[in-house]
Amino acid sequence: MPFTRRTFLELLGASTAFAVTYSCSKAVPEPAEPAAMPVEVAGSKAKLYYADYTDWLLIHPDGSVTAHTGRVELGQGLTTVLSNIISQGLQLPPEAVKLVMGDTALCPDDGPTTGSAATRIVGWGYWRACDRIRAHLVERAAEVLGVPATELVYRDGGVVGRSRFDLRVGIGELVDGKVHLPAAEFVETYVSPQTYSDPGAANVNGEAIVTGTLRYTGDLFPGEVAYASWLLPEYHTQMTRLRAADLEGVARRPGVGHVQRFWNTAMVVGESYPTVERACAASGAKWKVPERSPELDVEAEIRAGAELHRTIEAHGDPEGVLARGRVVLRETYVTQYASQAPIETETAVAEVDGDRVTVWASTQAPFVSRGKVARQLGIPAENVHVIAMPVGGGFGAKGGTRAPQLAAEIARTSGRRVKVVFDRDRQFNSEARYKESVVADIASSVARDGRLLARTLDLYQDEGAGSTDTYDIPDVRTRLFRTPMPARHGVMRGTSFVQTCFAVESHTDVVAEAVGLDPVSFRKRNLAIDAFAPLLDACAERIGYGSRSLPDGHGIGFAICHHGGRQLGAVAAQVGVDRGTGVVRVERLEGAFDIGLVISRTTLVANTVGAMIWGLGFALFEEVRLDGHRSHVHHLSDYRIPRFSDVPPIEVSFHDNVVPNPIPRGCGELPTVPTIGAIANAVYAAVGLRFHTLPITPARVLAGLREL
Amino acid sequence: MATSFRLRVNGERVLVTADGDEPLLWVLRDRLGLTGTKFGCGEGECGACAVLINGEAYRSCMVPLSEVAPEDEVVTIEGLGRPGALSALQQAFIDHTAFGCGFCSPGMIVTAEALLRRNPAPEREQIIAAMDDNLCRCASYPAILKAIESAAAGRAGEEE
Q: Which ipTM value was assigned to this complex? A: 0.98
Pairing of strands A265-270, A256-262: antiparallel
Confidence of residue A295 (pLDDT cuts 50, 70, 90): low
Provide the number of CB pairs (under 8 Å) joining chain A to chain B. Answer: 195
Residue of B96, B101, B126 for testing the chain A interface, max A β-carbons within 10 Å: B101
Confidence of residue A433 (pLDDT cuts 50, 70, 90): confident
Chain A residues whose beta carbon lies within 8 Å of the beta carbon of residue B128: 644-645
Q: Lowest-pLDDT range, A91-95, A99-103, A108-112?
A: A108-112
What are the pLDDT digits (tens) for A111-155? 999 888 899 999 999 999 999 999 999 999 999 999 999 999 999
State mean pLDDT over B36-40: 98
What's B104's DSSP letter?
S
Residue A42 CB contacts under 8 Å (≥ 6 apart), including other chains: A188
Chain B residues whose beta carbon lies within 8 Å of the beta carbon of residue A338: none
User: What pLDDT score does A662 carry?
Assistant: 83
CB contact under 8 A, A216 and B128: no
Chain A residues whose beta carbon lies within 8 Å of the beta carbon of residue B76: 212
Q: Lowest-pLDDT range, A291-295, A659-663, B88-92?
A: A291-295
User: What pLDDT score does A657 carry?
Assistant: 85
Compare CB distances from B142 to A602, A609, A611 and report the shortest one's residue: A609
State mean pLDDT over B105-111: 98
Q: Are B47 and B132 in contact (CB under 8 A)?
A: no
Q: Are A515 and A327 in contact (CB under 8 A)?
A: yes
Rounded Cα gap, residues A561 and A583, in angstroms: 27
Rounded Cα gap, residues B150 and B160, in angstroms: 15
User: What pLDDT score does A1 carry?
Assistant: 34
Among A697, A287, A341, CA closest to B40 = A341
> What pTM was computed for the model?
0.93
Rounded Cα gap, residues A317 and A455, in angstroms: 10
Element (DSSP H or E) covering residue A477: strand A475-482
Q: Torsion over CA of A639, A643, A645 and A648, rounded to 10 degrees?
A: 110
State mean pLDDT over B2-26: 97
- In DSSP terms, A229 is beta-bridged to A268
Compare CB distances from A343 to B77, B103, B145 and report the shortest one's residue: B103
Measured in degrees and rounded to the nearest 5, phi and psi for residue A57 equal: -120, 120
Q: Are A299 and A334 in contact (CB under 8 A)?
A: yes
Q: Which residue of A has its CA nearest to B39?
A: A344
User: What pLDDT score does A41 carry?
Assistant: 42
CB contact under 8 A, B137 and A393: yes
Residue B79 CB contacts under 8 Å (≥ 6 apart), including other chains: B9, B10, B11, B52
What are the pLDDT digits (tens) for A368-401? 999 999 999 999 999 999 999 999 999 999 998 9
Compare CB distances from B132 to A340, A424, A643 and report the shortest one's residue: A643
Compare CB distances from B30 to A208, A222, A424 and report the shortest one's residue: A222
Chain B residues whose beta carbon lies within 8 Å of the beta carbon of residue A423: 41-42
Rounded Cα gap, residues B16 and B14, in angstroms: 6
Chain B closest-CA separation from residue A73 CA (Å): 8
Q: Are A471 and A452 in contact (CB under 8 A)?
A: yes
CB contact under 8 A, A602 and B97: yes
Q: Does pLDDT of A26 surpass 70?
A: no
User: What pLDDT score does A4 carry?
Assistant: 36
DSSP-derived 3-state class of residue B17 = strand
To the nearest whole percent, how much of chain A has pLDDT over 70?
Answer: 92
B100 to chain A, any CB pair closer than 8 A? The answer is yes
Pairing of strands A152-154, A37-40: unpaired
State mean pLDDT over B33-52: 98
Compare CB distances from B100 to A208, A607, A641 and report the shortest one's residue: A607
User: What pLDDT score does A25 carry?
Assistant: 32
User: What pLDDT score does A184 carry?
Assistant: 86
Chain A closest-CA separation from residue B50 CA (Å): 12
Q: Exposure pattern of A124-146 as b/e (b: 16+ CB <10 Å)? A: bbbbbbbbbbbebbbbbbbbbbe
Q: Does pLDDT of B16 surpass 90?
A: yes
Q: Does pLDDT of A11 surpass 60?
A: no
Q: Is A167 exposed, middle or buried (0-12, 13-18, 19+ CB in 10 A)?
A: middle
**CA dihedral (A272, A373, A359, A367) positive or negative:** positive
Name which residue leads in pLDDT, A484 or B119. B119
Q: Does pLDDT of A8 surpass 80?
A: no
Rounded Cα gap, residues A520 and A557, in angstroms: 9
Residue of B9, B75, B97, B110 for testing the chain A interface, max A β-carbons within 10 Å: B97
Chain B residues whose beta carbon lies within 8 Å of the beta carbon of residue A641: 135, 137
Chain B closest-CA separation from residue A202 CA (Å): 7
User: What pLDDT score does B50 carry?
Assistant: 98
Q: Which of residues 108-137 of B touch A (CB under 8 A)?
A: 109, 127-129, 131-137
DSSP-derived 3-state class of residue A396 = coil
Chain A residues whose beta carbon lies within 8 Å of the beta carbon of residue B30: 222-223, 272-273
Q: Which of residues 137-156 of B touch A (CB under 8 A)?
A: 137-145
Name which residue leads in pLDDT, A442 or A10. A442
CB contact under 8 A, B101 and A642: no
State mean pLDDT over A295-311: 86
Rounded Cα gap, residues A194 and A126, in angstroms: 13
Alpha helices per DSSP H over A253-401 = 273-281, 298-304, 318-324, 366-377
Confidence of residue A19 (pLDDT cuts 50, 70, 90): very low
A274 to chain B, any CB pair closer than 8 A? The answer is yes
Name which residue leads in pLDDT, A164 or A376. A376
Long-range contacts of A9-14 (CB under 8 A, 24+ apart): A11/A143, A11/A144, A12/A143, A12/A144
Confidence of residue A13 (pLDDT cuts 50, 70, 90): very low
Residue of A343, A602, A618, A646 for testing the chain B interface, max B β-carbons within 10 Å: A343
A608 to chain B, any CB pair closer than 8 A? The answer is no
Among A208, A204, A229, CA closest to A345 = A229
Among A202, A329, A189, CA closest to A659 = A189
CB contact under 8 A, A211 and B81: yes
Residue of B103, B104, B140 for testing the chain A interface, max A β-carbons within 10 Å: B103
| Residue-averaged pLDDT of chain A | 90
B99 to chain A, any CB pair closer than 8 A? The answer is yes
State mean pLDDT over A456-466: 88
Q: Does pLDDT of B88 surpass 90?
A: yes
User: What pLDDT score does A293 carry?
Assistant: 59
Among B5, B9, B4, CA closest to B73 = B9
Q: Which of residues 63-82 of B touch A (CB under 8 A)?
A: 76-78, 80-82
State mean pLDDT over A577-596: 97
Rounded Cα gap, residues B95 and A651, in angstroms: 18
| Residue-averaged pLDDT of chain B | 96
Compare CB distances from B33 to A223, A277, A344 and report the shortest one's residue: A223
Q: Does pLDDT of A628 surpass 80?
A: no
State mean pLDDT over B102-121: 98
To the nearest whole percent, how much of chain A has pLDDT over 90?
Answer: 79
Compare CB distances from B23 to A274, A603, A613 and report the shortest one's residue: A274
Chain A closest-CA separation from residue B91 CA (Å): 8
* Gyration radius of chain A's alpha carbons: 28
State mean pLDDT over A596-612: 96
Q: Lowest-pLDDT range, A162-176, B70-84, B102-116?
A: A162-176
Residue of A76, A79, A211 for testing the chain B interface, max B β-carbons within 10 Å: A211
What are the pLDDT digits (tens) for A526-563? 999 999 999 999 999 999 999 989 999 999 999 999 99
DSSP-derived 3-state class of residue A205 = coil
CB contact under 8 A, A606 and B143: yes
User: What pLDDT score does B160 carry?
Assistant: 54
Compare CB distances from A392 to B81, B103, B135 and report the shortest one's residue: B103
Q: Does pLDDT of A296 surpass 80?
A: no
A272 to chain B, any CB pair closer than 8 A? The answer is yes
Chain B closest-CA separation from residue A374 CA (Å): 28
Q: Which of residues 285-304 of A touch B (CB under 8 A)?
A: none
Taking each continuous run of H as one helix and of E as one strand, the counts in chain A are 19, 31
Pairing of strands A567-577, A452-460: unpaired
Q: From its phi and psi, is residue A582 left (phi > 0), alpha (psi between -120 and 50) or beta?
A: left
- For residue A297, the Cα-to-chain-centroid distance in whole angstroms is 30
Q: Does pLDDT of A7 surpass 80?
A: no
DSSP-derived 3-state class of residue A193 = coil
Q: Does pLDDT of B3 surpass 50?
A: yes
